Structure 1
């Protein structure tokens, strides 16, 4: 019996990186998982690749293409998951974007793009998941992806930092409001993680002159990590599975730092 056996879970931003790792770790512990992402073709491939794993651990897999800033698409994703698995127990609001720009160069478009996905997308995901859980009358868990950038501002990713501070606030607000429905709201804050998203950020930082060569930004950030290395997605999933399991039932409104000791709060 796995730690999340029989639990119906949705993970957004699950076509790659941390989101995919979260979903795969849940499968290994017996959960039913909907892998969701704006890239419908890619997430369909991820789901297909994990179907055998799910069967071997006693769970099920489905997938959904979703723009997390579109409420109707989010509702359709939840409806699809419930039609496949019969309920919704755990919702990971993990989809996120970043597009570095130096502080004085940040445009309205850059701000709205990042805040839309990371802020509004989190809010919509929380609301619609909570509505489904309330209708079921069985409680549930909502888990949000924050960042080390939710604890301090960085000069060339200001909108991203603001959006992840928003995730922390939404987590606390949701925890206060949804406790009466037996719904817990928690989150986790990764540091530097070796994923496709970080590779994109690395290229963007070079384009705006914040780095001179590939890998420089990651090396500089890594120098401050007490554990002495960049995280892999698998370093994150022990905590995310814990947050999805009954082991964390008495925790709500909290953000767990998983950054190797980079930010001490």
Structure 2
């Protein structure tokens, strides 16, 4: 019986790349995104490629949506094996300009979403009496704290912490919890970060922030979705059964931990 993986925030970007790789690995896929139009487009594309796939619209910051997502995955394919907490959002701006609504929204998606997704997946794994894997989206910003990205960095530090603590508590249930920590990727998220940086530094031009952040990558190029997907593929596989509680950096050589 084919294994089943849920990937949140998989309508596009890194999440879509991860879902595509897991499908290539033989997983049945459950796509999840808050954007119905984007989700439908990716769902159509996956089906055209012959992938066994379902799509579920949902808001990861809502606990009931995460539990409903797992329920629909199990109903569609009979089980759950891997849950990837990929959905997230960025916040760019000076520390002194941080507002309450920015904090609440960022933490509700990036942190609460990971907690609720992990809880929902873990309950399903325990119910099935099978091993399970939760794989969280952390970041190099979960290892370092960057100027103009204070809120985002704080959320990713929290994800790293929850990865550690949940791995310790869930190991007795045969559940592994790990995280992948991407660096600078040429995605729509970094396009938005670049645009926001310009607002606070008039001397910068379009693309300057991206160039600045990616210029120090030892391997000489920005990250591609496949670079992250390769790590997630390994963590989702049986070959990674002896790994838990780790937040693994995949950034081409920026941050060293």
TM-score after normalising by structure 2? 0.97
Match of 1:206?
198
Partner Cα distance (1:165, 1:210) in 2: 30
Partner Cα distance (1:69, 1:101) in 2: 22
- Residue 210 of structure 1 and its aligned partner are, at CA, apart by 7.4
Please state if 1:159 is matched with 2:155.
no
Structure 1: gaps (5+ residues): none
Partner Cα distance (1:94, 1:30) in 2: 19
Whether the 8 Å CA contact 1:150–1:162 is kept in 2: the answer is: yes
CA deviation string 1:115-157 (max 9, x = no partner)? 1110111111111110111111112000001001001111111
Structure 2: gaps (5+ residues): none
CA deviation string 1:1-52 (max 9, x = no partner)? xxxx811000001011100000001111110000101112211210110113
Partner Cα distance (2:44, 2:250) in 1: 29
Partner Cα distance (2:236, 2:206) in 1: 36
- How do residues 215-226 of structure 1 correspond to structure 2 at under 5 angstroms? 215-226=207-218
Please state if 1:108 is matched with 2:104.
no
Partner Cα distance (1:117, 1:243) in 2: 23
Partner Cα distance (1:102, 1:119) in 2: 21
Partner Cα distance (1:109, 1:193) in 2: 27
CA deviation string 1:194-234 (max 9, x = no partner)? 11111111111112227611110111111211101101111
Please state if 1:127 is matched with 2:119.
yes
Please state if 1:31 is matched with 2:13.
no
| 4+ residue segments displaced more than 4 Å | none
Of 49, 73, 78 in structure 2, the residue corresponding to residue 86 of structure 1 is 78
Partner Cα distance (2:219, 2:202) in 1: 25
- Residue 113 of structure 1 and its aligned partner are, at CA, apart by 1.0
Partner Cα distance (2:93, 2:107) in 1: 14
Partner Cα distance (1:94, 1:139) in 2: 20
- Residue 182 of structure 1 and its aligned partner are, at CA, apart by 0.3
TM-score after normalising by structure 1? 0.94
Match of 1:52?
48
Of 159, 169, 186 in structure 2, the residue corresponding to residue 177 of structure 1 is 169
Match of 1:12?
8
Q: How many residues align?
A: 257
